Each structure stands twice: as structure tokens, then as C-alpha cells.
Amino acid sequence: MIRIEGRDISIYDQPDYKQGKRRGKEDVQVIRPDSLIPEEMKGIGKGKKFLIRTYGCQMNTHDSENMAGLLLEMGFESTEETMEADVILLNTCAIRENAENKVFGEIGHLKALKVERPELIVGVCGCMSQEESVVNRIMQKHQHIDLIFGTHNIHRLPELLRNAIYGKEMVVEVWSKEGDIVENMPRARQGKTQAWVNIMYGCDKFCTYCIVPYTRGKERSRLPEDIIAEVRDLARQGYKEITLLGQNVNAYGKDLEGKNYGLGHLMDEIHKIDIPRVRFTTSHPRDFDDHLISVLSKGGNLVEHIHLPVQHGNSEILKLMARKYTREQYVELAHKIKMAIPNASFTTDLIVGFPNETEEQFEETLSLVREIEFDSAYTYIYSPREGTPAAKMKDNVPMEVKRERLGRLNALVNEISAKKNLDYQDQIVEVLVEGESKKNPDVLAGRTRTNRLVNFVAPKSVIGKIVYVKVTEAKTWSLNGEMVEMAEVKQ
Ligand code: SAH
Ligand code: SF4
Ligand code: F3S
């Protein structure tokens, strides 16, 4: 235990960048505990409520479902109201500086609440907790935080929470290195229609700008039989869509010794399971092999949407990013996929303002967007992340120039999205109805197989079902339509 500014802090483990970067050869064990909640902790949440605020990617969204599962098993109930919560967890993202700023803003807001209600427990977890500098900053400056844990020890939440509730000190336990794969985590899934399924954890790609390999550890694949059992169970429960998750799903199986089993094999088996839609994210172009393309071209429940982040259109920048492909190789791969999966929608991620990016290099990103005609793209201004190789590169591009480039890129991406959406005008599309539209509760919203958002008026009884909708208006980011009869696709 240490004492900083009058606050006692119990540090079980602290993040260490050098460790986080290391890729050891030791085997990853799969552990299957009967229960992660020790007997004496089963009722500690009785009469209390928890709130988890999630930032970042789908991986975090799904981790939050696992944490919620653990908390429910401890007797807590869930709430959306900050004022009602007895435990608040911030599941954080470290990918860009603005993501981190949002979290520090929220940590600041919670201080007043903690002063008012000292028995409130505030925890910080997720990718930011894996950063040395963040943990140090919280310990020094945000002493109203009670608990910090990371991405590798989520299953330890019950014990850590107990220590935070009964001890008066701040509890810090962040493992720098990945641990075992824990199966049997209770999962409190948010919806009854769409489900996330982790297929692997971690990333070994070490793109020079990216923090994820440090915050999520080395690549570890779940066993195919565990994934398939989970998908079969979701199908039995009536889920309509699953998304297979990993930071680099194309590397799936590489660490499963002696198996020669990759994402293509896994998708081929899932193809046979009676669940209407299967998506996956995120793919890295480098390992997108012909076997996977041929499996995806079988269609059926494998939907026609490929998200394949390219990051940049210039080969020199791609090299500096350590993406390990050239513009030409990406274009060739994109064409191969488009030939094999006709009508596939093709989306991507793009970074502008990488250190020393010239106007000419940036224009190659624009020309790539024109050449591939991405259906949509997530676009970001490069954000230096402490500890990554790119953060050490000198950068001569002023922020105004980066912003201006982002504006031009977005205008082009939107123009192409709008044009591509026009192809849907008057077409009848298959829509999985997700719920009420966020903007108007009288309208329902759902997605096509190609991941287009569709808004239409229909009875609420079709929520969670797959229906046909005729598109009446194509907009830049969404389609409006009318449901065709009550025709429901096979449920
Ligand atoms: N594993 C996924 C993406 C993870 S992060 C992949 O490799 O495709 C999602 C996106 O955030 C990345 O594709 C990239 O475009 C962006 N990103 C990652 N690090 C960034 C940084 N330091 N600055 C700006 N954008 C970044
Ligand atoms: Fe980051 Fe690259 Fe890994 Fe994606 S593949 S998570 S961008 S290091
Ligand atoms: Fe963010 Fe971590 Fe995901 S850094 S994007 S939450 S893996």
C-alpha cells in the first residue's frame, strides 16, 4: 500500500509499457471456471445498482456486457441513471487523444457526485487503464477514483470490487501482459437480436501509430469449438445476427498450434449454422487470403459487407505505418473481393495527417477513395499515442492543414456514399429491424445485409425481425423506405 496526497492506494499490479510490448512464446491456457463469483460475494450487490459507461470499439462494448454479467451475478441491478448508481464503471478507449479527453472530462464530473455520496464506487477500466501515464495521472490527480483494472483481468472484477467496497483505499490491478483465455464468462447481452462473439483477443500487427497492441496484448484465438458452441447457442435463443470480433480477425487461428485452421475454416462452419446473418470485424488486408474469399462468396448467412481498413492511399506512408502492403496490393485485393462477392459493400478506415504527410501523398488517399468507391469510411486525424513509434516522428504538418484535409476527404467520402445509395432507389431490400429510430420513435430503423441504415414506418411488432422494405428515398447516410406487405423473411 502507498499513500499519495492522503489517499491510500493498494497497488496489486501496475501497467508497464515494456511488458505490454513483449510477445512471449508461452502458451495461452484456456480456463473454464465453474463460477467467477466466490460464494461470499454472491449477494454483495443486493439492493444496489450499477452503471457502465462504454467508450471505444465493439470489443469494449462486448467487454461491458461481460462485466454487466458478472455484476448481475453478484446481485446488482443495472441502471442508466447516474444518480441512482452505487457503482459506476468507465470502460475507456485509448485510440486517440480526444477519446481520452472525453474520459478525463467524465472523471472530473464524477468528483462532485463522489463528494456528495462517498459510498459510491467509481471504477476506470478498459484500454486507458493499460497506459502507465493514465494510471499515474489518476493516482496523483483523481483520487476520488476507487478502482482501476485493465483489459486482461476483467474476470477479477468481483474480487477487486469487494476490495474497493470494504477497504477504504483506491484499488489498482492492471496486468501488463495478457493472461489466459477465460471461457464461461457470464454475458449480459444488450439486445435479443444482435450479438457480439469474440473470436480472438489482442493484436500483433504493431502499426506504428496504434496503441491497441499495447493495451490488448498478444494475439490469442479462442478455440473453434468454443466459438461454434456459442454461435449455436445464440441461434437457439433466436438471435438474428452475430458479429465475430477481433482487432485483426484475419489472424484468427495462427496461434492454434498444429491445427491449420483459420478464419476461412471458422466462417465455413458458421455458414452452416441456422442464424440469418454473420458479420466480422476488423480485417487486416495483409492476411485476407483466397480461402476466406472463396468461403465468403458462398453467401447465405455470410453477408455482403466487407470492412477492410486501408488507412492511406500512398505506399510510402503505408510503409511508415508498417501496414505491410502497398496501395497496389490493396487495390488488387479489393478487386479480387469485389469480383468474388458481387454487390458487396466495401467500407474502410482512413487516417489523414500522419507525420510529414505531403499534399501529394494526401491526394493519393483521395484518388484511392475515388478508385475503390468505398460505400462509406471512418476518417480520422492522426493522433500521436505515447509509446508508439510514430509518436517519436517529427511532424511538419500543422493542425489546420490536417483539419482542412479531413474536410476534403469527408466531402469526397460523402459524395460517393450518396451516389452509391442512389443504387438502392426503388429497390426492395432485406432489413433486420433493430428498433425505433434514434431521431423519431414513430419510425423504425434497421440494416440491410450490406449494413445500410434504413428508416421506415411499420408496426413495432416487427422489431427484431427480418422484413422487406422498398426504398423510396436514398440519402447520404441512410435510406428511407416502406415496408412491403408483412412479408417476413425466414425467421
Ligand atoms: N484493428 C482495426 C482497427 C482498430 S482502431 C484495424 O486494424 O483495422 C480503429 C481505427 O482507428 C483504425 O483503423 C485507424 O484508422 C484508427 N486509428 C488507430 N490509431 C490511430 C491514431 N493513433 N490516430 C488516428 N487514428 C487512429
Ligand atoms: Fe492497431 Fe494495426 Fe492492430 Fe489494427 S492491426 S489494432 S490498426 S496495430
Ligand atoms: Fe479503443 Fe481499446 Fe477498442 S483503444 S478502439 S477500446 S481496443
Which is the closest atom of ligand 3 to the Cα of 216? 7
Confirm or reject: Cβ of 248 under 6 Å from ligand 2: yes
Confirm or reject: Cβ of 60 under 6 Å from ligand 1: no
Q: Ligand 3: which of 129, 211, 215, 349 to mutate, most ligand atoms within 8 Å of CB?
A: 215
Q: What is the mean pLDDT of residues 266-294?
A: 96
3-state secondary structure of 84: helix
Which is the closest atom of ligand 3 to the Cα of 92? 6
* Nearest listed ligand to the Cα of residue 381: 1
- Which tens digits make up the pLDDT trace of 61-120? 999 999 999 999 999 999 999 999 999 999 999 999 999 999 999 999 999 999 999 999
Q: Ligand 2: which of 284, 308, 311, 312 to mutate, most ligand atoms within 8 Å of CB?
A: 284
* Nearest listed ligand to the Cα of residue 387: 1
- Which tens digits make up the pLDDT trace of 335-391? 999 999 988 999 999 999 999 999 999 999 999 999 999 999 999 999 999 999 999
- Atom 12 in ligand 1: residue holding the nearest Cα: 349
Number of helical H runs and strand E runs in the chain:
13, 23
> Which protein residues touch ligand 3 with a CB less than 6 Å away?
56-57, 59-60, 93-95, 126-127, 211-212, 215-216
Residues of the chain with pLDDT > 70: what percent? 99
* Nearest listed ligand to the Cα of residue 64: 3
C-alpha distances in Å from residue 315, one per residue of 181, 319, 323, 328, 368: 37, 6, 9, 8, 11
- Atom 5 in ligand 2: residue holding the nearest Cα: 205
Residue 347: cis peptide before it, omega within 30 degrees of 0: no
- Atom 4 in ligand 2: residue holding the nearest Cα: 247
Instruction: Provide the 10 A C-beta neighbour count for residue 334.
Output: 23
pLDDT at position 78, please?
A: 97
pLDDT at position 38, please?
A: 82
pLDDT at position 472, please?
A: 97
Counting every residue written for the chain, the total comes to 491
Contacts of 79 (CB under 8 A, 6+ apart): 49, 50, 51, 85
pLDDT at position 486, please?
A: 54
Quick one: which H or E segment has residue 490? none
Confirm or reject: Cβ of 206 under 6 Å from ligand 2: yes
- Cα–ligand 3 centroid distance for 212 (angstroms): 6
Confirm or reject: Cβ of 248 under 6 Å from ligand 1: yes
Domains and CATH numbers, the chain: 2-173 (3.40.50.12160), 218-303 (3.30.750.210), 306-422 (3.30.750.200), 428-490 (2.40.50.140)
- Atom 1 in ligand 1: residue holding the nearest Cα: 247
pLDDT at position 40, please?
A: 80
- Cα–ligand 1 centroid distance for 221 (angstroms): 21
Confirm or reject: Cβ of 311 under 6 Å from ligand 1: yes
DSSP state of 82: G
Q: What is the mean pLDDT of residues 132-141?
A: 95
Torsion of CA 49, 55, 58, 60, to 10 degrees: -60
Closest among 80, 25, 91 to 55, alpha carbons compared: 91
- Atom 3 in ligand 3: residue holding the nearest Cα: 57
